[in-house]
Structure 1
Amino acid sequence: MKILKIFLVLISLFVFLNADDDYKDFEEYKHKYYKNQKYNLYKNFDFLNLNSQQYTLLKDILIDYNEDYKELQKYKHHVKEKIEDLLKENDFNKKEFIALLKDLKYKHLEIEAYKIERIHNILDKKQRKRLAHYIEEWELD
């Protein structure tokens, strides 16, 4: 009987020590899963309590945003190539370097502002307050 109790205590201890929180693994999996979808709609809208019409409009906004973001990535690659060319030259053109980076940041902010403006237009007053509270969820990746 003592051996059985010791065995149960050891098994319980073993299970307890090997148990872990898989939350981080789930978060990594979730982002990999959603990034492989056609449209990256991993944003969570539950806190806004959207009706079906608003949900559809928001989904369309995010699809458009995703397309704009893909174009921004192409532009970013183009800017990166220009910066590489600048660095290869004998004389570094500081003004052109700054202009390229400013233009990229401006396009980045323009896409973000357009998305937030469109989302703002479909929400009611209460939902806008919630959006303002959770704005980190909607920042550009």
Structure 2
Amino acid sequence: MPSPRSLTLALYTHWDVIESLVPLTRDFPAFDPDQALVSIGRVCPNLDLAQREDTLRQMVNADLLRMLPRGNALELHPQVLEFVRGLTREHELGLSQVLRARVDAIKGATAQLADALAHNQADGMRGAAIINPAIK
């Protein structure tokens, strides 16, 4: 088990790659090194094959990725996987709350516009048509 400090530093160093590998674990609990190299290539397209392999080796040595026994398949360290999923889920929840606020603001403006139209109130229609900051 690596020390928390070294694991955190390695996670910080390779965050983009780990973040791209986490969705793969939904379909494949373990993946081969070629899949990891492709993910590294997507995140860091300026790296050549030797540098990608070096990055993969660093991630295995830092225990972010583990080689499974009886083969060369890799898996994300379970604690790293749980940690990254938790952080990205919180981020997604934050985005959903922002979207919910925008949808609620649009619903409110639509209801206000419909009410103003029903009562033929020009000021009410104008007020409902003004772009609400929550909608932007």
Q: Normalising by structure 1, report the TM-score.
A: 0.32
Query: Which structure's residues are more often helix, by fraction?
Result: 1
User: Does 1 or 2 have the higher relative contact order (CA < 8 Å, sep 6+)?
Assistant: 1
Query: Which structure's residues are more often strand, by fraction?
Result: 2
